[in-house]
Amino acid sequence: MAERTIDVLGIGNAIVDVISRSDDAFLQQHDLPKGGMTLIDADRAHQLYEAMGPGTESSGGSVANSMAGIASLGGRGAFIGKVRNDQLGGIFRHDIRAVGTRFETPSATEGKPTARCLVFVTPDAQRTMATFLGASTELGPEDLDFDLIKQAKVTYLEGYLWDAPEAKEAFVQAAKAAHDAGNRVALSLSDGFCVDRHRESFRDLLEGHVDILFANEDEITKLYEVDDFDTALQHVRGHCEIAALTRSAKGSMVLSGDEVHVVDAVPPKQVEDTTGAGDLYAAGFLFGFTQGYSLPDCGRIGAACASEVISHVGARPEIPLKTLIPEAVKA
Amino acid sequence: MAERTIDVLGIGNAIVDVISRSDDAFLQQHDLPKGGMTLIDADRAHQLYEAMGPGTESSGGSVANSMAGIASLGGRGAFIGKVRNDQLGGIFRHDIRAVGTRFETPSATEGKPTARCLVFVTPDAQRTMATFLGASTELGPEDLDFDLIKQAKVTYLEGYLWDAPEAKEAFVQAAKAAHDAGNRVALSLSDGFCVDRHRESFRDLLEGHVDILFANEDEITKLYEVDDFDTALQHVRGHCEIAALTRSAKGSMVLSGDEVHVVDAVPPKQVEDTTGAGDLYAAGFLFGFTQGYSLPDCGRIGAACASEVISHVGARPEIPLKTLIPEAVKA
């Protein structure tokens, strides 16, 4: 891979999370499928927030969380995403820059406010999300920084952005520019419901533009409309250069051509909140990949990062993740 | 005490905390006295926030934290304080109402934004604060709800508000109205630097208007300009009906007339962040007082609440504090 000034450029939703503790009854009462992400409009966001308990705000967004992880691992990251010029937008911008990620996408000066995700953490440490995408959906091809894309070893795309029509076009343009520059393109499928909404176009994107795929068991079986993980596995092979398929406590599988690697999960000290597990797995994997680690080591670094983030409430790391690398790759 | 519909009415700063992990070098570099609260203007708030690491936002404010504690104990609380009609103001209003505290003070529609407190948590779990008071300083006598004051067994005043001239006048009017209705007035001295700024007027307030005083060792020695706690103790006696003096791990002393009670601290599971220890002690004490517990039991409930809040990051309780009462008062 040619010399590049950026390891990973993430393109994703720019969201502030509002995290509160909740219970299953609340989820049922408000028709929120447990463990999933429901898109909500401004009115429903207002109603749900009124009903929600006291919250804690912190910057989120799936790929943005991964970028925080890459910075914490010592990688060089950049992010493209859209906030409004409001207080929550200022918080998002501060937090991602404060960890050392480049973030220069101009704020929207009119239109919807900065996106927020209401996160309900149940006593079993699962998180159920309701997202008001707000200004995030304004991201379009005009926000792409093609110099950044050329400079990034990997351009990493967030599946959730597929819900925003302008962003789809931006993704395809970004992927083409990355490949033209000899770089790689990664995609996270983000969420099973998201896959259900966009199955065909995700498959097209995967065939035409994606080198590295991240998906969990639910997402990959939904993508190929099959019942079990093993059947999905057979479908994946040959459809992208590298696939990293995560299965929570069962670990992950890393596939590439004829290579198949089984990577164990790293048992966390405790499980407080599974928010960000997939995001941080991807962070570890992509960091490893851009540093030239073997594919199984990429998966092991990902597993170590995921283990850290589920051991506390919140989707961004609380310790310098680079301290986890030696233990992760010594196997 | 006559029948009242409110146990405690708090009047204080309406602040959103921005909490991040930091180290001693950062505090020195930015001239922030460790463990204290520095008032900053909008420019300095901007500069410090730029230099600060990624943060987590949550509603704060000393007396507002106490009100969250009183709600968590099962008490009936109300709050008076000033936010701007901006996103942070919306967060503050949501969070205090979500725990069941009445909060009806209208938002300012112009002027400074909602107050924020930059909280730097060092590895020794101490917190150092830099506060931009913003819209909080707009609180004045016109914001007092005299019906609420009449209905509240205790009106609880935040020493920090003494930094806002209009609020001083509001305090005196609120205290008079509370006494006219046969109710009690409590005051927290809030912070040693705050006491240094307002020593004389705090003493006047204490003599003329306060029945229940909360202070820690630093604050009470500064109030009387003495070197040690025991000397301060002698000064306090006779200057207000009840004084609860806190000494961190050394526990607290509760004084009333000739009564002197020594209350042990409750060792926490771990110490993560001492933010809110004094606020939650006051919450437990005032809850106990309004429910007719003995003074030492009031102190013990306070100690149990303080112990909970320092065991995690953040200044508001994470478990229902009422579950702590039976253990606290069985001694």
Please report, in angstroms and rounded to a whole number, the separation of the first and last CA atoms in chain B: 26
- Give the pairing type, strands B252-256 and B242-246: antiparallel
Check CB contact under 8 Å for A59 and B54.
yes
Q: Name the interface residues of B facing A (CB cutoff 8 Å).
A: 21, 49-50, 52-59, 68, 86-88, 91, 94-96, 98-99, 113, 314, 316, 318
* Res. A243 pLDDT band, cuts 50 70 90: very high
d(CA B291, CA B153): 10
- Closest CB to A55 among B49, B50, B95: B95
pLDDT at B2 over 70: no
Query: If we measure between CA atoms, which residue out of A285, A197, A210 comes closest to residue A245?
Result: A285
Check CB contact under 8 Å for B56 and A98.
no
Cα–Cα distances in angstroms (integers) from residue B24 to residues B20, B35, B55, B103, B130, in the given order: 13, 11, 17, 37, 15
Can you give the pLDDT at residue A184?
97
Chain A CB contacts of B56 under 8 Å are 56-58, 314
Can you give the pLDDT at residue A163?
80
Check: CB of residue B249 under 8 Å from CB of residue B288: no
Chain B CB contacts of A88 under 8 Å are 87
Once rounded to an integer, what is the mean pLDDT over residues A279-299?
98
* Res. A281 pLDDT band, cuts 50 70 90: very high
Q: What's the burial of A299, exposed, middle or buried (CB within 10 Å: 0-12/13-18/19+)?
A: buried
- B199-228 burial, b if ≥16 CB within 10 A, otherwise e? eeebeebbeebbbbbbbbbbbbbbbbeeee
- Average pLDDT taken over every residue of chain B: 94
pLDDT cut 90: percent of chain A above it: 87
Can you give the pLDDT at residue B166?
87
- B296-318 burial, b if ≥16 CB within 10 A, otherwise e? bbbbbbbbbbbbbbbbbbbbbbe
Reported as half-sphere exposure (CB side, CA atoms, 13 A), residue A167 has a value of 21
Check CB contact under 8 Å for A56 and B55.
no
Residue A297 CB neighbours (<10 A): 23
d(CA B42, CA B112): 9
What's the complex ipTM? 0.88
pTM for this one?
A: 0.91
d(CA A256, CA A260): 7
* Res. B330 pLDDT band, cuts 50 70 90: confident
Can you give the pLDDT at residue A275?
85
pLDDT digits (tens, 9 = 90+) for B274-301: 889 999 999 999 999 999 999 999 999 9
Residue B187 CB neighbours (<10 A): 26
Can you give the pLDDT at residue A331?
64
Check CB contact under 8 Å for B314 and A88.
no
pLDDT digits (tens, 9 = 90+) for B15-34: 999 999 999 999 999 999 99
Can you give the pLDDT at residue B194?
87
Q: What is the DSSP letter of B240?
A: B
Once rounded to an integer, what is the mean pLDDT over residues A69-88?
98
Measured between CA atoms, the residue of chain A closest to residue B52 is: A98
* Res. A2 pLDDT band, cuts 50 70 90: low
Check CB contact under 8 Å for A86 and B91.
no
Check: CB of residue A16 under 8 Å from CB of residue A114: yes
Å from B113 to nearest chain A CA? 10
Check: CB of residue A232 under 8 Å from CB of residue A226: yes
Q: From its phi and psi, is residue A100 left (phi > 0), alpha (psi between -120 and 50) or beta?
A: left
Can you give the pLDDT at residue B331?
64
Can you give the pLDDT at residue A277?
94
Cα–Cα distances in angstroms (integers) from residue B30 to residues B27, B41, B115, in the given order: 5, 14, 20
Q: What is the DSSP letter of B136?
A: G
Chain A CB contacts of B68 under 8 Å are 54
Can you give the pLDDT at residue B162?
86
Can you give the pLDDT at residue B135?
96
Once rounded to an integer, what is the mean pLDDT over residues B104-113?
96
Can you give the pLDDT at residue B273?
84
Q: Which two tokens stand for residue B169?
A: 């006048």
- Average pLDDT taken over every residue of chain A: 94
Q: Give me the sheet containing B15-21, strands edge to edge.
A: A37-39, A127-132, A115-121, A15-21, A56-60, B56-60, B15-21, B115-121, B127-132, B37-39
pLDDT digits (tens, 9 = 90+) for B295-319: 999 999 999 999 999 998 889 999 9
By residue count, chain B amounts to: 331
pLDDT at A1 over 80: no
Q: Name the interface residues of A facing B (CB cutoff 8 Å).
A: 21, 49-50, 52-59, 68, 86-88, 91, 94-96, 98-99, 113, 314, 316, 318
pLDDT cut 70: percent of chain A above it: 99
Once rounded to an integer, what is the mean pLDDT over residues B140-161?
96
Domains of chain B as residue ranges with CATH: 6-13+62-112+134-329 (3.40.1190.20)
d(CA B290, CA A91): 40
Chain A CB contacts of B57 under 8 Å are 56-58, 91
